[in-house]
Amino acid sequence: MSLQAVKVSQSTPIYAKVGNKYQPAVRNISRRVRQFSIPVLTIGAISIPVGRAAGHIGGFKNLRTMYAFQKFSSSLIASYTGFYPLDHSFNWRRMKTGLLPLLAISILNRTGLLRPFNRKLATAKIPLRLN
């Protein structure tokens, strides 16, 4: 590992007082290893409406028409927006499986309530995180 003096320009190093002397300030160049972690709650919130909409995929084999795909996509759109394109209707209750869990997780993420749990998982070298 090499230590380098921090410079403002090519010729002027930044000095730091160490004891009674001024020495060139050094920065420790460390290479942090980034690890992949899986956001469990976010994947769960996304998989709920996709799983409910996947119930319409069985119609692909039976109907062999675009109607099954339209039902799948309409159900997926309705769970995030509340609007069901096949009926041209809007209902707030349709968003309880798609949009509301994602909003709840984002609020938990912004408030930082899950940070202690994520820190414990990271120190245990478990590749999961809650948000």
Q: What is the pTM of this model?
A: 0.60
Residue 69 has pLDDT above 60, yes or no: yes
Say whether both 60 and 79 belong to one domain.
Answer: yes
Say whether both 81 and 48 belong to one domain.
Answer: yes
Number of separate domains in the chain: 2
Say whether both 84 and 24 belong to one domain.
Answer: no
Say whether both 55 and 13 belong to one domain.
Answer: no
Residues of the chain with pLDDT > 90: what percent?
A: 4
Q: What is the pLDDT of residues 51-66, one digit of tens each?
A: 888 876 766 666 567 7
Residue 4 has pLDDT above 60, yes or no: no
Domain that holds residue 10: 1-31
Q: What is the DSSP track for the chain? A: --EEE-BSSSS-B-EEEETTEEEE-EEE---PPP---EEHHHHHHHHHHHHHHGGGTHHHHHH-STHHHHHHHHHHHHHHHSEETTTTEE-GGGGGTTHHHHHHHHHHHHHTTTHHHHHHHHHTT-SEE--
Say whether both 105 and 61 belong to one domain.
Answer: yes
Q: What is the pLDDT of residues 24-41, one digit of tens each?
A: 766 555 555 667 788 888
